[in-house]
Amino acid sequence: MSGGDSQLWEVFVRPRRGLSHVHVGSLHAPDAQVALHHARDVYTRRQEGVSIWVVPAAAISASSPDEKDAFFDPAADKVYRHPTFYHVPEGAGHL
């Protein structure tokens, strides 16, 4: 039929100046230029963005959800990374 799936791209849109690009979905396209055009037509028909990134899905390396707990474990026992860990002495301002 269509002669093989064309490449899968992940689409990120910056909604407005001052906000970061956010993942909005994916699409198929043969190259980056076509992917950008498709992304504009599929994901920004109502002025949802001022800037688009497209990234080949194959280029994304992801952590595994199955190893989520072990992977993020090093952060779990370091409560001293949060400011609320510390006792602020009475009378100390601007802390």
Residue 31 or 88 having the CB closest to other proteins: 31
The encoded tokens of residue 77 equal 């026992």
Amino acid occupying residue 81: R
**d(Cα 78, Cα 95) in Å, to the nearest integer?**
21
Residue 37 or 88 having the CB closest to other proteins: 37
Q: Does 70 bind other proteins (CB under 8 A)?
A: yes
Which stretch, 13-21, 61-69, 74-82, 84-92, contacts other proteins (CB under 8 A)? Answer: 61-69
Residue 20 or 91 having the CB closest to other proteins: 20
41-45 contacts, C-beta under 8 A, 24 or more apart: 42/11, 43/11, 43/13, 44/13
**Residues making contact with other proteins (CB under 8 A):** 1-6, 8, 25-31, 34, 41-42, 45-46, 62, 64-67, 69-70
